[in-house]
Chains A and B, each alone.
Chain A
Amino acid sequence: MDAQVLLNISNLHAGYGKIRALKGINLQVRQGEIVALLGSNGAGKSTTLKAISGLLLPEEGSIEWEGASIRGLAPHRIAERGVIHVPEGRRIFSGLTVLENLELGAFTIRKEKRLVKEGIEQAFALFPRLKERAKQLAGTLSGGEQQMLAISRGLMARPRLLMLDEPSMGLAPIVVQEIMAIIAEINRQGVTILLIEQNAKAALRLAHRGYVMETGRIIMEDEADVLYRDEKIVKAYLGA
């Protein structure tokens, strides 16, 4: 069941000034998958996502999306191709309303008013609490609600790949469960997902495959349930 490879990264090197954050990453994401990217702090997970979404210019290696290189494109060009990055720390527009945040999420499809309207309805169906707070400033939402908004905003563009950076960060366990369930639901609706998580166990329960990173390299990749059962790995690298 080899589905089509959507994202193909090979030998990716990137860094910040003199710091080498990525030292030759190879990673594939196939159509319909949830892929978990795991590892401790500073392993290079967020840097990998930044390189894919164009926030960071790689020094070496290739990033192919649907067979074409997207390396070196501006972030908005990559978003236009359906690769949407929900960054660490949610980064919602706190001074705009919930509804305005969602509308901006649909910026790439702004001319198709019907799709924008549908997207907003779907977001409200997925997270009824956002509907109640549609006219409120996003900065007044609770942490969990802000994360829901960040995910919904990412979905508004109808992405074919949704990259989520630590969606459970700073949230109460019950809210984490809710968010994880929603991510699974989004995937069932056909969105391919690349997920970064500190909470490795939760991520592996959800994912089809996983990569484990350490100091800028991928040190392991396998089916999610294989990684999940490997107590040694979980203890040594994932801190769970």
Chain B
Amino acid sequence: MNTLVQTLIDGLVIGAFYSLIALGYTMVFGIIKLLNFAHGDLYMLGAFIGYSLLSLVTGNGEGAAGLLGIAVVLLLTMTVVGVIGMGIERIAYRPLLLAPRLSILITAIGVSLILENGSMAIWGAQYQVYPLQLPQTGWSFGGAQLTYTQVAIIAISVLLMAGLQLFVRHSIYGKAMRAIALDQTASSLMGIDVHRVIALTFFIGAALAAGAGVMAGAYYGTINFMMGFIIGLKAFTAAVLGGIGNLPGAMVGGLLLGLIETAGTLVLGGSWKDVVAFSILIVILVCKPTGILGEKVTERM
């Protein structure tokens, strides 16, 4: 019983990370039909930029950042990485929007390599210890532990996702995003600056991934320039699981993947973690290619 509850808690935290990253995947796919394989590296970049900013505040973990400090670092990192995401769209993807799909996909892989190797050049190839001590205390019931940190991560993730959902459903720019996903030409005839809205989409997607990166860095304690690779693929799995192009789908898919993966690890052992995740991807692709909430055509966001 305790292990089951513990699995649920741990799974939710990992699932929250997957969801936040999957959202960017699915938004970008929805609006320009690109599988942005560099997206996982924006999560990594978020972790590293957050690391550098936190180091400035705490001085290698000796001082305490304080809640306000952490919040400022989180928001600043999200903004910086959001702008980097926009820059990537402007430089690497926009010139190729009318090119064959394969060109832009290969470019995405190139961007991923640049981000990974660039980060290695700046921060080094070794694991870095996150300059932040988070409380390991919390509530325990039975043998299961729910730490304040876990609660905070889940709460922040929920807040970000709810905010995104409100924005996309109700703001005029959110509606413009959904309109562009359906018909770019008609959107431009309404006076919508299509490129600007696409840039905004990249900003939001990158910022959410960066938020996950900072939280993951703080949660796990160590970061590395390749940390975005596997989690990027997992987030992609989560997006497909929920129905690619569908925002609530990405959220549900991420949480579900986190839970299943953690449960799989419990039953089969830690080395089977990735096998479980990608087996799920294969099963979905065979049984329900459109995902849990995905539709065949029409609305994509």
**Which A residues have a C-beta under 8 Å from some C-beta of B?**
53-55, 74-76, 79-80, 84-87, 91-96, 100, 103-105, 107-108, 110, 137, 139, 153, 157
Contact = CB atoms under 8 A, between A and B. Distances in A.
Contact of B175 (A86, A96, A108, A157): A96
Interface stretch (B52-60, B70-78, B96-104, B190-198): B190-198
B121 interface: no
B298 A157 contact: no
B209 interface: no
B299 A104 contact: no
A110 B178 CA distance: 16
A76 B194 contact: yes
20 contacts: A74-B188, A75-B189, A76-B190, A76-B191, A79-B190, A85-B189, A87-B186, A91-B185, A91-B189, A93-B182, A95-B178, A96-B179, A96-B182, A100-B178, A103-B175, A105-B190, A107-B172, A107-B176, A108-B190, A110-B172
A55 B172 CA distance: 23
A96 B192 contact: no
Given A100-B175, A103-B175, A107-B176, A95 B182 contact: yes
B300 A95 contact: yes
A105 B187 CA distance: 9
Given A91-B183, A91-B186, A110-B172, A96 B191 contact: no
Contacts of B182: 93-96
A76 B178 contact: no
B179 A93 contact: yes
A79 B178 contact: no
A87 B190 contact: no
Interface of B: 172, 175-176, 178-179, 182-183, 185-194, 298-300
A79 B192 CA distance: 9
Nearest to A85: B189
Interface of B is mostly: helix
Nearest to A110: B172
B194 A93 contact: no
A91 B180 CA distance: 12
Contacts of B188: 54-55, 74-76, 79
A25 B193 CA distance: 28
A103 B189 contact: no
B187 A104 contact: yes
B183 A107 contact: no
Nearest to B169: A100
Contacts of A139: 298
A76 B192 contact: yes
Interface of A is mostly: mixed
A96 B179 CA distance: 7
Contacts of B179: 93, 96, 100, 104
Contacts of B183: 91, 93
A117 to B, nearest CB: 13
A79 B299 contact: no
A93 B178 contact: yes
B54 to A, nearest CB: 39
A137 B299 CA distance: 10
Nearest to B194: A76
A86 to B, nearest CB: 8
A87 B185 contact: yes
A76 B196 CA distance: 11
B178 A84 contact: no
A155 B300 CA distance: 26
A107 B190 contact: yes
Contacts of A91: 183, 185-186, 189
B298 A94 contact: yes
Contact of B191 (A86, A92, A95, A157): A157
A96 B172 contact: no
A105 B175 CA distance: 11
Contacts of B186: 87, 91-93
Contacts of B176: 104, 107
B189 A104 contact: no
Given A76-B188, A86-B189, A96-B178, 19 more contacts: A76-B192, A79-B190, A85-B189, A87-B189, A91-B185, A92-B186, A93-B178, A95-B178, A95-B182, A95-B298, A95-B300, A100-B178, A103-B175, A104-B175, A105-B190, A107-B172, A107-B190, A108-B190, A108-B191
Nearest to B174: A100
A181 B175 CA distance: 31
B290 to A, nearest CB: 14
